């Protein structure tokens, strides 16, 4: 996705600004120039011509690089439209160290980078080939014109013949040189791929983009420049030189310098002097911070780096290119004892020359990629937030579970059905999303309550166990008028289990709701009715007549049984959960969640062995482990610790039983309770599937 758009960006930039045609037009200009030279100065020697051609070639190649870099700094409208958050490269170039290779490695995924680079490689190679082709045509034209001249002047025929021969030889040499150059670029990764070439050596880009490699990459750029210098100064002799100096492992990936043209579309057949002057203008416009300041993003604006840089970098106490006693120029790492030495080093080694400029361009490219990536990620974030109805302007809590964000009803399946049993993504249990949420100031809109119920089972099912979720977000729910992502049943159960005696009166349940959740401080009639409804409806809630009145308890077995663990939703999740019992390399919080999940899973009747008595005991033990250990650990601490494990599940099916009966039934086994229950014909709820055998089978 990102690669697509990135290349698209490049393409649009190129097409908009004559990127592709600039080379050809340039070579055409060069051709005309060479042609006129040939016409007017027939005396020009082939060697001079060749030298001129070479210089033109070098100049064009350099210009080509410059155009790419310049094109980056002037994003087209498409780019702007495409990535509103995009940061202009100009200011990034001022502080090349702002985005380190490590950061780049972190942000850009290797496949993305690789694909992008390959695209750019292909494009660049294509253009280079095109350029060389033009050069060859040019030479042929000149040859032709010379031949015509020769035809007119038969007198000098022989001389010309030898001249032609020499010229042709040089032409061949020139072609070899060009091929060598392309090959050389390919080796260095600057041009890596023939356009039609499908198979690309898949190398680990991550490895390629590790800091050391990036440094090497910088050095490589420098070597390219050196090679070009060599070409310039040594004429034809460069081939061995450059290829040797750039013997570079093909497995390395160098950053591709895309072919962005000059923004003004100028042809670049300038003399080197003029080119440098323009280059200096171009760079100094950044270093002076004139135009770049308006491009500063909130991220970079006002940072120390930026501020020091925008003043006068050479004279500030701290230099963005200087740190830890060494030069931070990409690929340099020269040790400088003090700032003065560094300044000296900077001025001598990183003066305004082709190499530094090329490095600047590469850095710009790096920044550009990062910006594209940032824009993409920002877009994604926006889309996600929009999807979750959590636009940044909205004061809704970020930590709000997905389901309740959309409507504001209780979740359909909560941790109750898969109660603390299922593993949950570390979103709420292990990962610190919490800092992102907005906290107590969050007051939900009326839409939260006005809209009908929207429940999502899945998130409820596999997300957070109520205990850990509540433990983590206790304060949040207390203050934020946000509907908790749990079912009434799970909340009631949690409230009861959290109580010292694991039993609550209805009013105490009400109080727990209002105490724990700001949401339940209004619309009391509705949710209280729902609570009562749930208490009555679910068999897992057992009403016990106490001396002080009726209290409600939880039949954990029934609760677990109530919803058989349908793990169809995420088999791998279950698998991982089970395999995660080893708790190998997970972090502590997630281990806790896993432990909770695993224990709960063990409690699940479907996973327990089927022999009645043992299973029941096991059930009890395991279940108590979950409830007393996990729940208490994970709850917000209000649980009373003094309860014996056997207290769970003892009040099973004592509904409508007299209080003393309940008291006596405490030590009684579950079987006894169930048997008792069987004798109650009125309780139909307990009749279906309540037999112990069924329960355990």
Q: How far is the CB of 449 from DNA (least distance, A)?
A: 8
Rounded Cα distance between 585 and 24, Å, is: 58
Residue 390: C-alpha distances to residues 77, 107, 251, 647 (Å): 29, 24, 45, 43
The three-class DSSP label of residue 262 is coil
User: What residue has token string 């030898």?
Assistant: 162
Contacts of 145 (CB under 8 A, 6+ apart): 35, 38, 39
Q: What are the DSSP E strand ranges found in 254-371?
A: 322-323, 326-327
Contact segment (CB under 7 A) with DNA among 13-21, 335-343, 413-421, 466-474 equals 413-421
CA 394 to chain centre: 24
Listed residue (589, 528, 577, 243) closest to 423, CA to CA: 577
Binding mask of the shown chain, residues 468 to 507, with x at each position contacting DNA by CB under 7 A:
------------------xxxx---------------xxx
The answer to whether 47 touches 13, Cβ cutoff 8 Å, is no
- 637: phi > 0 → left, psi -120 to 50 → alpha, else beta; which? left
64 vs 418, beta carbon nearer DNA: 418
Q: How far is the CB of 629 from DNA (least distance, A)?
A: 23
DSSP 73-93: HS--HHHHHH-TTPPPHHHHH
List residues bridging with 543 in a β-sheet: 552
Q: How far is the CB of 569 from DNA (least distance, A)?
A: 5
Listed residue (641, 492, 596) closest to 554, CA to CA: 492
Q: How far is the CB of 457 from DNA (least distance, A)?
A: 4
Rounded Cα distance between 452 and 130, Å, is: 64
Q: How far is the CB of 381 from DNA (least distance, A)?
A: 22
Q: How far is the CB of 469 from DNA (least distance, A)?
A: 14
The answer to whether 423 touches 577, Cβ cutoff 8 Å, is yes
Longest dimension (CA), the chain: 135
169 touches DNA by CB under 7 A: no
Query: What letter does residue 261 receive in the DSSP assignment?
Result: P
92 vs 504, beta carbon nearer DNA: 504
Listed residue (359, 368, 358) closest to 66, CA to CA: 358
- 586: phi > 0 → left, psi -120 to 50 → alpha, else beta; which? beta
Q: How far is the CB of 697 from DNA (least distance, A)?
A: 17
122 vs 567, beta carbon nearer DNA: 567
Please list every residue from 552 through 591 that binds DNA, using CB under 7 A.
Answer: 552, 562-564, 566, 568-569
527 touches DNA by CB under 7 A: yes
Rounded Cα distance between 667 and 659, Å, is: 14
128 vs 530, beta carbon nearer DNA: 530
Q: How far is the CB of 556 from DNA (least distance, A)?
A: 15
278 vs 532, beta carbon nearer DNA: 532
389 touches DNA by CB under 7 A: no
Binding mask of the shown chain, residues 52 to 91, with x at each position contacting DNA by CB under 7 A:
----------------------------------------
312 vs 533, beta carbon nearer DNA: 533
In this chain, which of 102, 431, 445, 526 binds DNA, going by CB under 7 A? 526
- Cα angle 452-457-458, degrees, rounded to a multiple of 5: 135
Q: What are the DSSP E strand ranges found in 278-390?
A: 322-323, 326-327
533 touches DNA by CB under 7 A: yes
345 vs 494, beta carbon nearer DNA: 494
355 vs 494, beta carbon nearer DNA: 494
376 vs 456, beta carbon nearer DNA: 456
In this chain, which of 134, 309, 376, 412 binds DNA, going by CB under 7 A? 412
The length of the chain in residues reads 697
Q: How far is the CB of 549 from DNA (least distance, A)?
A: 7
Please list every residue from 626 through 685 that binds DNA, using CB under 7 A.
Answer: 655-656, 685
Q: How far is the CB of 456 from DNA (least distance, A)?
A: 3
The answer to whether 534 touches 541, Cβ cutoff 8 Å, is yes
286 touches DNA by CB under 7 A: no
Question: In a 10 Å sphere around its CB, with 0-12 CB exposed, 13-18 middle and 19+ buried, how is residue 611 labelled?
Answer: exposed
Residue 560: C-alpha distances to residues 90, 577, 616, 695 (Å): 61, 18, 13, 10
Size of the site for DNA (CB under 7 A): 51
Contact segment (CB under 7 A) with DNA among 414-422, 467-475, 494-502, 576-584 equals 414-422
Contact segment (CB under 7 A) with DNA among 232-240, 375-383, 453-461, 634-642 equals 453-461
346 vs 567, beta carbon nearer DNA: 567
111 vs 453, beta carbon nearer DNA: 453
In this chain, which of 550, 581, 586, 672 binds DNA, going by CB under 7 A? 550
Measure the N-to-C terminal CA separation of the chain; round to a whole number of Å.
Answer: 51
Structure tokens at 224: 């390219």
447 touches DNA by CB under 7 A: no
Interface contacts to DNA, rule CB under 7 A: 403, 407, 409-414, 416-417, 452-458, 461, 486-489, 505-507, 510, 523, 526-530, 532-538, 543, 550, 552, 562-564, 566, 568-569, 655-656, 685
């Amino acid at each position: 996705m990102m690669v697509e758009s990135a290349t698209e960006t490049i393409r649009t930039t190129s097409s908009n600004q004559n990127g592709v045609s600039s080379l050809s037009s340039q070579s055409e200009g060069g051709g005309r120039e060479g042609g006129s030279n040939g016409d007017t100065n027939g005396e020009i020697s082939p060697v001079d011509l060749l030298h001129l051609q070479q210089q033109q070639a070098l100049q064009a190649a350099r210009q080509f690089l410059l155009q790419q870099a310049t094109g980056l700094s002037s994003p087209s409208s498409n780019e702007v439209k495409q990535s509103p958050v995009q940061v202009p490269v100009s200011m990034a170039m001022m502080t090349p160290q702002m985005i380190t290779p490590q950061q780049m490695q972190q942000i850009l995924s290797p496949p993305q980078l690789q694909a992008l680079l390959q695209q750019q490689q292909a494009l660049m190679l294509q253009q280079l080939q095109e350029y060389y082709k033009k050069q060859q045509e040019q030479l042929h034209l000149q040859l032709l014109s010379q031949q015509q001249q020769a035809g007119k002047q038969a007198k000098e025929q022989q001389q010309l013949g030898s001249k032609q021969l020499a010229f042709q030889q040089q032409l061949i040499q020139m072609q070899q040189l060009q091929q060598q150059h392309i090959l050389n670029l390919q080796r260095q990764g600057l041009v890596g791929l023939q356009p039609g070439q499908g198979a690309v050596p898949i190398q680990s880009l991550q490895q390629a983009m590790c800091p050391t490699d990036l440094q090497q990459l910088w050095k490589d750029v420098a070597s390219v420049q050196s090679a070009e210098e060599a070409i310039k100064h040594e004429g034809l002799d460069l081939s061995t030189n450059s290829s040797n100096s750039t013997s570079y492992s093909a497995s390395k990936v160098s950053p591709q310098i895309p072919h962005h043209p000059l923004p003004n579309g100028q042809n670049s057949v300038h003399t080197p002097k003029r080119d440098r002057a323009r280059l200096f203008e171009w760079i100094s416009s950044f270093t002076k911070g004139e135009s770049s300041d308006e491009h500063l993003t909130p991220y970079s604006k006002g940072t120390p780096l930026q501020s020091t840089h925008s003043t006068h970098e050479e004279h500030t106490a701290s230099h963005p290119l200087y740190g830890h006693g060494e030069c931070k120029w990409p690929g340099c790492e020269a040790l400088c004892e003090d700032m003065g030495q560094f300044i000296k080093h900077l001025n001598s080694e990183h003066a305004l020359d082709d190499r530094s400029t090329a490095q600047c361009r590469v850095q710009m490219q790096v920044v550009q990629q990062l910006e594209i990536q940032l824009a993409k990620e920002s877009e994604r974030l926006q889309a996600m937030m929009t999807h979750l109805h959590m636009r940044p302007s909205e004061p809704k809590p970020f930590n709000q579970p997905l389901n309740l964000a959309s409507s504001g009803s209780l979740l359909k399946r909560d941790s109750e059905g898969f109660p603390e049993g299922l593993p949950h993504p570390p979103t709420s249990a292990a990962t610190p999303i919490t800092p992102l949420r907005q906290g107590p100031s969050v007051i939900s809109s009326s839409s939260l309550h006005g809209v009908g119920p929207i429940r999502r089972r899945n998130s409820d099912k596999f997300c957070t166990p109520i205990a850990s979720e509540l433990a983590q977000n206790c304060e949040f729910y207390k203050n934020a008028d946000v509907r908790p992502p749990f079912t009434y049943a799970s909340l009631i159960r949690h409230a009861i289990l959290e109580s010292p005696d694991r039993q609550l009166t209805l009013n105490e349940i009400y109080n727990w709701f209002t105490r724990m959740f700001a949401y339940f401080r209004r619309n009391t009639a509705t949710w209280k009715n729902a609570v009562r409804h749930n208490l009555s409806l679910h068999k897992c809630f057992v009403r016990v007549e106490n001396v002080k009145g009726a209290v409600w308890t939880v039949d954990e077995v029934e609760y677990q049984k109530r919803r058989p663990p349908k793990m169809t939703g995420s088999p791998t999740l279950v698998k991982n959960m089970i395999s995660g019992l080893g708790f190998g390399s997970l972090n502590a919080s997630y281990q806790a969640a896993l432990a909770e999940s695993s224990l709960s899973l063990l409690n699940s009747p479907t996973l327990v062995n089927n022999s009645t008595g043992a299973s029941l005991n096991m059930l009890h033990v395991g279940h108590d482990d979950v409830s007393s250990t996990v729940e208490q650990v994970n709850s917000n601490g209000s649980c009373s610790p003094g309860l014996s494990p056997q207290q769970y599940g003892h009040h099973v099916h004592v509904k409508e039983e007299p209080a003393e009966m309940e008291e006596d039934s405490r030590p009684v086994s579950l079987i006894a309770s169930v048997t008792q229950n069987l004798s109650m014909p009125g309780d139909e709820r307990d009749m279906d599937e309540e037999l112990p055998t069924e329960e355990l089978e």
